[in-house]
Structure 1
Amino acid sequence: MSDGQRVHMAPVRVAVIAASSQVRASLQAVVEALVDANPALEFLGSAADAETLVDCLAGSVPDVVVTDIDQEASDALKTLFEIGHAPPALVLLSDDPESDGILDALHADALAILPRNAMPAEIVASIEAVAAGLCVLSPDILAKLLTGRKPPREAASGEPFEALTLREIEVLAMLADGLGNKEIARQLDISDNTVKFHVSAIFGKLGATNRTEAVMLGMRRGFIMV
């Protein structure tokens, strides 16, 4: 279990923030449908901004916030965090996943970053994931973030290491999820031998001797988040 993982005996409390009343109603409907189907979740409320939500909740703190954000969202969301409690996990929907606000949000313990036009099923899956302490990034957004964030060129030991390709990052993320070679091959529609080739390349580039070590080194060097 990761340090950021949340363990709840009580229901996981979910709230919604969206400036547009139409978007807010749509997100609220998605959350309420999820809550109706899952007694381990509770819908706390929704608001146009973080400050209003804090006032409406009267001291209650959500475990997960689903928000359709703009470029000023980073500052607005900090208001929600500064109330003496652990910050909520975030499900962020944005047209601009490379914005400074999005990159700042990566410091949260658990979060999901989705395109603004994400399907309800994707939002539901992301709520459940971040409630469990996980991070969720689509392959497209992960690629954009990695392109915009230059990884360190040296390991902690001072020895240089080679950057992973996007396909190798996909395979490494699946290793982090505990998938075996056959399942990785099935999901990526490639052969078992190709998976073995990618795993071997990952080990060589990261200086790892096994899958667990590869995942840990990949996290440390910013290639994946789990």
Structure 2
Amino acid sequence: MGPVRVAVVAESPQTRISLQALVEASPALAFAGSAADADMLVDCLAGSMPDVVVIDAEPLASDALKAAFDLGHAPPALVVLTDDADTDSIFDALTGDATAILLRDTMPGEIVASIEAAAAGLCVLSPEILARLLDGRKPPRQTASRVPFETLTLREIEVLAMLAEGLGNKEIARQLDISDNTVKFHLSSIFGKLGATNRTEAVMLGMRHGFIMV
């Protein structure tokens, strides 16, 4: 197989130059052309279809690019570089034809790897975008009994804060002047209310719900 043919869409001339240089520096890639928008790119390519188009734009710009290409051909894979990483725009882009969504400050080597992965039919997300997508789409955590989330008492918040500091049960008991069994009781209540299965998860959920700050 020959090198992956890559085209670039970016409003900024400097960005187009930088992405072209990145493509030309990789033996596995071949630069096919660049333009400021999708319509200009189609004119530039004169009917030739690239394997991958790198778009320095908002995720939904992939729709305009798809419309600009001849629907008689299989559309190219898309690698979108964006600053707009909110959950809705990411999800909308992924339900379209974008096969890679990266932040604009992604390292050059990672962009090249994403281009190759997209050409192979894989979906690529930067770690930051994946975290936002998962956090925005997963349902609120519930307890095993499926009851609504409960708030913590002041004492439970104190215990949770000490967990976050890495204190063990005996140290917590000593600092709060309570028994080890009482600490275990509070931990059991905290785990149940937060839906946590271990100490680390309890601390993470406590931070997410604003009970503690680390």
Regarding TM over 0.5, the answer is yes
Native 8 Å contact 1:13 1:42 kept in 2: yes
Q: Does 1:121 align with 2:109?
A: yes
Query: How far, CA to CA, are the matches of 1:31 and 1:109 in structure 2?
Result: 21
- Secondary structure of 1:84's match? coil
Shift of 1:106: 0.9
Question: Structure 1 residues 134, 83: CA separation in 2 closer, same or farther (over 3 Å shift)?
Answer: same
Contact 1:110–1:134, Cα closer than 8 Å, also in 2: no
Which among 43, 55, 61 is matched to residue 55 of structure 1?
A: 43
The aligned counterpart of 1:24 is: 16
Aligned mates of 2:123, 2:90 — CA distance in 1: 13
The range that moved more, 14-23 or 82-91, is 82-91
TM-score by length of 1: 0.56
1:64 partnered with 2:52: yes
> In structure 2, the residue corresponding to 1:103 is in which secondary structure?
helix
> What residue number does 1:177 align with?
none
Retained in 1: the 8 A contact 2:7–2:32?
A: yes
Q: Does the 8 Å contact 2:102/2:125 carry over to 1?
A: yes
- Which one has a bigger Cα radius of gyration? 2
Show CA shifts across 1:156-193 (max 9, x none): xxxx9xxxxxxxxxxxxxxxxxxxxxxxxxxxxxxxxx
Cα root mean square deviation, aligned: 2.6
**Percent identity over the alignment?**
69
Which sections of structure 2, spanning at least 5 residues, go unmatched? Answer: 140-145, 147-214
SS of residue in 2 equivalent to 1:87: coil
Select the structure with the greater relative contact order (CA < 8 A; seq sep ≥ 6). Answer: 1
The answer for unaligned runs of 5 or more in structure 1 is 1-8, 152-159, 161-226
Equivalent pairs counted in the alignment come to: 142
Q: Secondary structure at the match of 1:114?
A: strand
* Structure 1 counterpart SS, 2:131: helix
Q: Which amino acid is the alignment partner of residue 105 of structure 1?
A: A
Q: Does 1:79 align with 2:67?
A: yes
CA-CA distance at 1:11 after TM superposition: 3.7
